[in-house]
Amino acid sequence: MPAAGVPLRVVSYNIHSQRDDTAALAEVVRAAGPDVVIVQEGPRRFRWRQKCATLADSFGLVVAAGGLPSLGNLLLTSLRVRVTATRCQRYPLTPGRHLRGAAYAECLVGGTRFLLAGSHLSTDPAERPGQAAAFKRELAAATLPVVAGADLNEGPDGPAWRTVAEGLTDAAVAMDRADRHTYSCANPRRRIDALFVDPRVEVVDYDVVDTPRTRQASDHFPVLVDLLLPAGD
């Protein structure tokens, strides 16, 4: 990669449908100072547009994509990031199961274009592999460098995780911090939340933010990653 890359700070965060301390949640994200936030369990029901906008404002960000059309997956950006196209995806419904989906935004920052993506896979181990495959098809079809965050609801040894991770860089592994657990805040014992990036993207730093405030804000810890995107032409 060229030395003159474009820095991007990313947070991927399952916010537990804002059931916990929302003041702590806003404080945690603002303190991180992200350029983009990939949210799982964001607003997806009554008045979801207003709720998504209010959440974004509490973070000091704006809504890029997601909400109800992506079933609670939400992409938020700072004003530094320009969003040029968006789309949402819903995975095929298994009767009696929870609806799941993904959100995508083509973005431009510092002259570099990239695809921002987020998803939240099922808690059902029989359902996850198919959802992972649907998410992976979208990521694999991208021509832009990919930055993808997800709550996979399984660890790195699971088939759905392996499907999504194939050909991408696991930011935790790149920084030798794969031992950092992301769930649950009450009893950290699993790494089920991940950020994957295109091989063209350099991982500069990775952290699972474990503080008294993150333990109040959600049942998941936020994943905080600093990246260098390849410089634009």
The domain segmentation of the chain, as residue ranges, is 6-229
156 pLDDT higher than 90: yes
**Mean pLDDT over each residue of the chain, to the nearest integer:** 95
CATH architecture of the domain with range 6-229: 4-Layer Sandwich (3.60)
> Which tens digits make up the pLDDT trace of 171-200?
999 999 999 999 999 999 999 999 999 999
> Which tens digits make up the pLDDT trace of 16-26?
999 999 999 99
User: Model's pTM, two decimal places?
Assistant: 0.96
- In the prediction, which pLDDT does 232 show? 77
In the chain, the percentage of residues whose pLDDT exceeds 90 is: 92
CB 64, CB 107: distance < 8 Å = yes
CA dist 81 and 92 (Å) reads 31
CB 16, CB 24: distance < 8 Å = no
52 pLDDT higher than 90: yes
1 pLDDT higher than 50: no
42 pLDDT higher than 90: yes
What is the band of 96 on the pLDDT scale with cuts at 50, 70, 90? Answer: low
101 pLDDT higher than 70: yes
What is the band of 40 on the pLDDT scale with cuts at 50, 70, 90? Answer: very high
Span 102-130, mean pLDDT? 96
Q: Which amino acid is at 175?
A: M
In the chain, the percentage of residues whose pLDDT exceeds 70 is: 96
- In the prediction, which pLDDT does 9 show? 98
CA 197, 149, 192, 127: dihedral to nearest 10 degrees?
Answer: -110
Which DSSP symbol is given to 167? T
2 pLDDT higher than 50: no
**3-class SS at 112?**
strand
3 pLDDT higher than 50: no
In the sheet where 6-14 sits, what is the strand order? 62-66, 74-77, 36-40, 6-14, 223-229, 202-208
